[in-house]
Structure 1
Amino acid sequence: MPNSVHSLSTSGLTPKNQIQCWTDALTELCGQFDVDPLEASSLEGRVNYTTVSRLKLCQIEVSQHRIAHPVSRAKAGEHPYVKILFQTYGVSHFEQNGHRIELMPGDCLAYDVSCPHTIISPSLTRHEVVIVPTELLQERGFHLAKLPACKVSARTGTGRIAHDFMHAAFGEAPKLSPHTALGVADTLIDLLLLPLREAGTAFDRGGPVALYERAQAFIHDHLRDPDLSIDQISKALGCTKRYLHMLFSDRGMTVSDYIWRARLLNCRQELETQGGKTITDVAFSWGFSSSSHFSRVFRNYFGIAPSSLHKAQNGSQSPVSISSDTSVPRPA
């Protein structure tokens, strides 16, 4: 069932109930905060919010106020979110870990909600916010320990693209099927991370390159396991299968392509150097479960039958040179 847009307003409430209403709204969205209207006699706030898969998208307008997530509320695991905040009107002052960041219209701020922080808005402000569960970022290779807040521009470049997509996703959210919403959410997260990567933020301490190298290492360590699978690799690396596929497709291959190519190269090396093993022994030792399947993909990849190499090795002939063709065979 597609998600609807929910609305909440403090208009018409008593000042005391306005603060309670706004506190309850923040609690429902991302955790408990202290709310202070500063010296104003009332807190006029309005929020529209919806969900796209596991993301929460919000449009917030509120009069002068201060919200705080103090140390006393900072319990481990209580606020497992990262906020991506787009300032669209007014000025806000963000403080966290001794750092103060001024937000103007067109600025974008990413920060860890679980870490104590304060946001002061001395007059009317409007924000568009994406609330992202931290585990969705960890699945993409981002390590969030002691994440510093990061401000980037949403006026131009990838920041503007991310904001425009987020704005469009909010408007279309009620029309999305659950399956489509999942794809939109994945795309939105990837777009939101682009300006952060460009800014060199510590958000990306793991990063796609490091994760790809870890995937390579895991594959080679488990290459002899006939049950090696994409599920097993993604679980070990703590990332989604979709993100794992993307890491390899960016380099012109699938995860399966990489696994089978690595196995074939190891099989060829053994056939050329260890004449005491049979072809079936070699194939089975590197994760193949069928000698006929092995022979077929070996011939497709190298342009020569494994039996030819085996005979050459046992007959003390010179090994056949490896073909320069780097295309990857498709296992049946």
Structure 2
Amino acid sequence: MSLGFQTEPGNPAHHDYWREMVCRHHIKIAPQFDSQIGFRGQMRIDDWGPVQLSDASFTPITYMHGVDEIRQSDRDDFLCVVNLDGDGAFQRNSQSIAYKAGDLLLYDTNQVYALNFPTAARTISARIPRALITSRLPEADRQFALCLRGDRPTTQLAVSMLKNAATLSELPDEGSCREMGHSLLDIVCIAVKDNLGATLVPTPGQAAVLKRIKLSLLEQLGDASLDIETIAQAQGLSSRTLNRMFASEGTTVMRWLWKQRLAASYRALSDGSVRQVTEAAFRFGFKDSSHYTRAFKREYNLQPNKLIAR
């Protein structure tokens, strides 16, 4: 799907129109406009498989995303924002992350925040389902917002590819868009890893063990017999120690494994490598397809067969 819209000069309802269109087609926001400047804005939105790309230009504005917007949203996404022109700040609570032209901001939209553009700006944004981020960056759930500086080569490559894709005069066919959307996402995640490296993990000592355990479990997602006892035994740990390690990240080993299975199945259904819900269930460690479907619906507010039809 491709869509474009813009405000009309002199239209007294242009504030409401911009808010309504952005909320309906992109992300729920409550915009605050500069009363001293007549607002102008335009946006183009394209679907690249599961990734939505948008190219937007606008005069000064602050996008508020509060509790009401979170409740109203039926999506669970990360947003990747490339700032092409103008400076700004991402704010939540008492924290403020400044960004400038060329930087890339990746953040979880299931949070209260404000995105401030004090001057006219142009952005390229990628709206990405949470599962497609966490399946590539398992630790990303703990990171509220990451600013990737534009002076790093991997950030520059990610920015260039996102901009080129979002500004094409004509899109490839649907199948190619889907495949390229996943490739764009891979490059963004590589840039995240390059920029942050080991800062994504809590402590050096625990990080090495957790990383080893997680990598081992990711290779065994299809093993439905895994439980805390067998995992602990295979890792040479007690069940209590294993639970304590995952508790440091606010989860349990089985909960983490369950989420990785769902995320991997989401990715497989989304990119077409799995074509049937039953196949996805059994490939990723679920013993019953009905249980898998219910778990998937609870996690993503979406029936898994809807991804097949996309």
TM-score, L = length of structure 2: 0.64
Correspondence list, 1:102-121, <5 A: 102-121=98-117
The aligned counterpart of 2:59 is 63
Q: Deviations over 1:29-63 (max 9, x none)?
A: 33321112123242111111211011111111111
**Structure 2: which 5+ residue stretches go unaligned?**
227-256, 269-310
Which of 17, 26, 30 is the matching residue for 2:26? 30
Correspondence list, 1:306-325, <5 A: none
CA distance in 2, matches of 1:90, 1:103: 9
Which of 210, 216, 226 is the matching residue for 1:213? 216
The aligned counterpart of 1:82 is 78
How far 1:217 sits from its partner (Å)? 5.0
* RMSD of aligned Cα (Å): 3.3
Which of 30, 42, 45 is the matching residue for 2:41? 45
TM-score, L = length of structure 1: 0.60
CA distance in 2, matches of 1:96, 1:189: 25
Which 4+ runs in 1 deviate beyond 6 A? 201-209, 233-236, 241-244
The aligned counterpart of 2:4 is 7
CA distance in 2, matches of 1:12, 1:77: 30
Q: Deviations over 1:238-257 (max 9, x none)?
A: 3437989xxxxxxxxxxxxx
Q: Deviations over 1:204-258 (max 9, x none)?
A: 88998654310345567859xxxxxxxxx999733437989xxxxxxxxxxxxxx
Q: CA 1:122–1:155 in 2, change beyond 3 Å: closer, same or farther?
A: same
- Give the number of aligned pairs: 231
CA distance in 1, matches of 2:96, 2:48: 31
Q: Deviations over 1:83-136 (max 9, x none)?
A: 111111111121024210111111111111120111222221111111111122
Asked if structure 1 preserves the Cα contact closer than 8 Å seen for 2:62 and 2:117, the reply is yes
How far 1:202 sits from its partner (Å)? 6.9
The aligned counterpart of 1:274 is none
Correspondence list, 1:93-242, <5 A: 93-172=89-168, 174-198=170-194, 199-200=196-197, 211-217=214-220, 237-240=261-264
Q: CA 1:201–1:83 in 2, change beyond 3 Å: closer, same or farther?
A: farther
**Structure 1: which 5+ residue stretches go unaligned?**
224-232, 245-332
How far 1:183 sits from its partner (Å)? 1.3
Q: SS where residue 119 of structure 2 aligns?
A: coil
Q: SS where residue 58 of structure 1 aligns?
A: strand
Structure possessing the higher relative contact order (Cα contacts under 8 Å, 6 or more residues apart): 2
Report which of the two structures shows the higher radius of gyration computed on alpha carbons: 1
What percentage of aligned pairs have identical amino acids?
13
Asked if structure 1 preserves the Cα contact closer than 8 Å seen for 2:135 and 2:263, the reply is yes
CA distance in 1, matches of 2:43, 2:224: 51
Asked if structure 1 preserves the Cα contact closer than 8 Å seen for 2:102 and 2:159, the reply is no
Q: CA 1:43–1:177 in 2, change beyond 3 Å: closer, same or farther?
A: same
CA distance in 2, matches of 1:209, 1:177: 40
CA distance in 1, matches of 2:188, 2:267: 15
CA distance in 2, matches of 1:30, 1:203: 28
